Chain A
Amino acid sequence: MMKQKDRITTTQMAIYVSTHMTALGILTLPRVVTATTQTPDGWISVLLSGLVINLFAIVLVKLCQRFPQESFYQYNPKIIGKWFGILLSFSLITYFILLGSFEIRGMAEVTHLYLLPRTPFMATIIPFICLGVYLTVGGINPLVRLFEVLFTPSILIFIIVILLSLKTFEPNNIRPVLGQGILPVIKGMQPTALALTGPETMLVVFSFMKEPQKGIKAITLGIATPLFFYIMTTIFTLGSLGVAGVQTKTWPVLSLFRQFEYTGIIFERFETFMLAIWILQIFTTFVTCLYVSALGFSQIFKKEIKPFIFGLAPFMYVISLSPKNINDFFHLGDFLGYVGIAFIIVVPSIMIIIAMLRGKKHVPAS
C-alpha cells in the first residue's frame, strides 16, 4: 500500500501535468502544424486540439475516479481481465520508456546544435540521466516539489523572451484568419499530437492525489497552461517567420529567438534563456517518464521501485541513441504522438465504457 506522505495537492497535480506536457513538441509545433495547414491558422488548430484533448482528459479522470486509490496498472486487470490488463500496462510502460528516451535524445540534439557543438551526446545525456535517477529515487513528492520550483521562473522567462520577439513580428504574416476556410484548420489538428501528449500520465499518478474529486480541475489547469504557451509560440513564430519561412526551419521556435538582438541592455541574445528553461522542461518530462514506467514495473511485479529505476536508466540511454539521424528521430516523435493520443482518447473511453457495463468500481474497504 502507498505511504500516507505520498500525497500531492491539486495545484501540484496541475503543475505536474503541465510540466509533463511542455517538452520537445513545442519546438517543432509551428512547423508541423503549418506544413499541414499551409495557412496562418495553425494556432486555431492548436487551440481546437487542446480543447478536444481536454475533453477526453476529463473522461480519463472520470475513469481514474472510479478507482481513486489505485493506478492504471493496478485497476486495469479488474476491468479487462488479467492478461489483457498486463498487456496494456506493458504497452503503456513501453510508451513512457520510449517517450523519455525520445526527450533526452531531443535535448542532446538541440544542445549539440546550439550550445555544445563538439561535446559528444554521451557527455550531455549521462549526467542528465544520473540526475533524473537521483531525483526519481525520492518518490513522487521530491518530483512535484521540484516542478513547483521550476514552474514560475519558466513561465516568467518564457513570457518575457517571447514578448521580446515582437521586434520582428509582422501582423500581416498571421492574417487573414480562416482565409481558406475551416478545413485546413481541422487538418492541422493531427500533427499537434506530439505536443499535446502528457495528460495520459494522469492514468498513473492520479492515485497520488490528496483530493481525487478535484481531478478535473487539476487536469484542466494542467492542460490550459501549456496550451497557452503553445498558442503564443505558434502565433509569434508564424508572425515573425511567415507561413513559408516557418516550414524551412528545423527548430522554428529557436530560429525565432535568433531573429533579433537587443543592443544596449545587459543581454543581447535571448535564445540561451529559452534553451535553459526548455532543457529544464525536458528534464521534468524525462523524470516523470522514468518514474511512471518504473512505478509500473514495481506495481505489476509487486516489488520495490528502486531497482527498476536503476535498471531502466541505462536502457533509456541505449534507446535514446538508437535513432540514426534527425529524421528518424522526428518520425519516432510522430509515432509517439499518436500512441500518446491513443492513451488519452481511445483507451480511457473504451475502458470507462467496459467499466460501466461491468459495474466495476473501487469499493471502499471500510
Chain B
Amino acid sequence: MYRFRYLILIICFCLFLTGCWDSHDIEQLNIHVGTALDKASSSTSNGKQQSKNAIKLTTQSIFNTQPTTESDQANQEPQKYINISGVGNSIIEIVQSFSQENEHPSYGQHLKVIVIGEALAKTMNIGEILDQHSRTYEIRDSCILLVAEGSAADTLNIHTDIPSFTLIDIDQHQYKTAKLLPPLTIGKAVSKMAAHKDFIIQGVQTKKGKINFNRAALIKGGTNRLVGFLNEEEIEGLNWLMGKAKGGIIKGRDPKTGGLIMYEIVSVKNKITPYLNGDHISFDVNIESVGRLNEDWVLAGNAFSNKFIKRAEIATEKEVRRQIHQTLTKLQKYQIDVAGFNEQFRIHYPKEWKRMKKDWDKRFSHVPITYHIHTTIRDYMVKGRKEISK
C-alpha cells in the first residue's frame, strides 16, 4: 500500500517538476530596451503598400556579446546593441514582423524608454500611438517617455555604450539641474491622457551623435498632440512654478555691481491658491526656496555680512521671477496648463470645476496669475569672501 502511494507521489513529481511552459533561455531572447517611434517617410515603401498614417518603429535590443574569433573584429570593440526598424500602421504588426526577420523572439519586459518623434507627435494622437505599449502585459508602466526633436530613431544611434541607457540615465539628473523635467513614465502619461489633461514630456535633441535634453514638448490634452516646445529656461521656470526643482543653479546679477551671483537650489516649495469671484478666476503662487551661494563674481562680496546675502537673494528672486514670467506667458499663449493650476482649482472648487473643466484651457489662457518668490541663502559653503577690505 505504502509503495503504491510513493509511486503516485513520484509520478506527481514528474508531472509538476518537469519545467515551465513559459521558459525561454535568456541567450535566445531579443531583449528590447528602447523604442523609437517616427512618422514613416513616404519614400520608405519597401515593396509593401503603406497607407498615409504609417509609423516607423525602431527598437533597440541588447544581446549577449560573444567574443568574436575573427581577427579584424578583435581590435574593434563589439557593439552591445542592435537597432531594428520596421514600418506599419499598428505597433504590434511591426513588432511581430521582427519575429519573421530575426532568429530570436522579441522580449519587451525590460523596455526602459520610448522616444516619440516630433513629426509623429504633431500629427497623431499619442494615446493611440501608445495604446499597445500600455495595454500589453509585457511592458511595464514604469517605462519612461521622451519626445525627440527631429528623428526619434537618431536618439537610439548616439555614440554611447547603449544609447537607451544613456537616455534614461540623463533623465534622472533632476538633483543636479533644474533644467530637466521629472521623468514621465508611460503609466503617468496614460493616466493624464485618460483624464484629458495637458501634459509635458522631456524633449531630446540629437546632433552629430550627441544628445541634449534641452527642450520639453507640450502635449494638448484631449487631442494628445504636440503643440509646442519649451526651452531650457522655460523648463526651469516651470520647475520653480511646480515646486519640482531639486537642484541646479540660478544665475542672478548683483543689483549693485552687476557681477554674477550663482544660487544653488537645495529645495523649492510651492503653493498655488486659486480664487474664484463670480466667474472670474485668479491664482496666487507662493514659492519658497532654500539654497546656498555657490559662486559669485563680485570681488568685494562679503558673504559673512547679511547685507550681501540679502543682495544675492534679491538677485536670485529677480532672475526666477523673469523665468517664471517667461514660462507662464508661453503656457498661456499655447493654452496649456501643465503647472498644476487646474489641479488646485479642482481641489478647491470641485463643484465649479465640473462646470468649467470643458473650456478650462481657454479660461486659463487669460487668467491673472500673481507670484511671490522668496529665496533664502542658508550658507555659502567653505568660503565667505575673496579679499579683505583694506
Contact = CB atoms under 8 A, between A and B. Distances in A.
Interface of A: 39, 113-120, 123, 127, 168, 172, 175-176, 179-180, 240-248, 255, 258-261, 269
Given A119-B22, A127-B16, A175-B347, A245 B190 contact: yes
B351 interface: yes
Contacts of A259: 141-142, 185, 187-188
Kindly state the interface size class of chain B when it binds its partner. 20 to 34
Given A258-B141, A260-B142, A244 B191 contact: yes
What DSSP secondary structure best describes chain B's contact surface? helix
Cβ-closest 7 pairs across A and B = A245-B191, A179-B350, A244-B195, A244-B194, A119-B21, A242-B191, A259-B187
Given A116-B22, A180-B351, 4 more contacts: A172-B347, A179-B351, A244-B191, A246-B191
Given A114-B137, A258-B140, A261-B142, A248 B347 contact: no
Nearest to A127: B16
Q: Most chain-A CB neighbours within 10 Å: which of B191, B194, B346?
A: B191
Given A175-B347, A176-B350, A255 B141 contact: yes
Contacts of B348: 176
Nearest to A172: B343
Contacts of A246: 191
Contacts of B22: 115-119
Contacts of B347: 172, 175-176, 179
B190 A248 contact: yes
A269 B22 CA distance: 19
B381 interface: no
B384 interface: no
A123 B137 CA distance: 20
A269 B140 contact: yes
A168 B195 contact: no
B350 A261 contact: no
Contacts of B354: 180
Interface of B: 16, 20-22, 137, 140-142, 185, 187-188, 190-192, 194-196, 340, 343-344, 346-348, 350-351, 354
A172 B340 contact: yes
A245 B137 contact: no
Given A127-B16, A258-B141, A261-B140, A248 B194 contact: yes
A168 B196 CA distance: 20
B276 to A, nearest CB: 14
Contacts, number: 74
B16 A168 contact: no
A109 to B, nearest CB: 11
B21 A116 contact: yes
Nearest to B134: A248
B285 to A, nearest CB: 15
A255 B140 CA distance: 8
16 contacts: A39-B350, A116-B22, A117-B137, A119-B20, A168-B187, A172-B344, A175-B347, A179-B347, A240-B187, A241-B187, A248-B190, A248-B194, A258-B140, A258-B142, A259-B142, A269-B140
B351 A243 contact: no
B187 A242 contact: no
B191 A241 contact: yes
Contact of A113 (B21, B137, B142, B344): B137
Nearest to A242: B191
B194 A245 contact: yes
A179 B350 CA distance: 5
B136 to A, nearest CB: 10
Given A179-B350, A180-B350, A245-B195, A116 B20 contact: yes
A115 B141 CA distance: 16
A229 B21 CA distance: 33
A356 B20 CA distance: 58
A39 B350 CA distance: 10
A119 B196 CA distance: 38
B343 to A, nearest CB: 5
Nearest to B186: A259
Contacts of A242: 191-192, 194-195
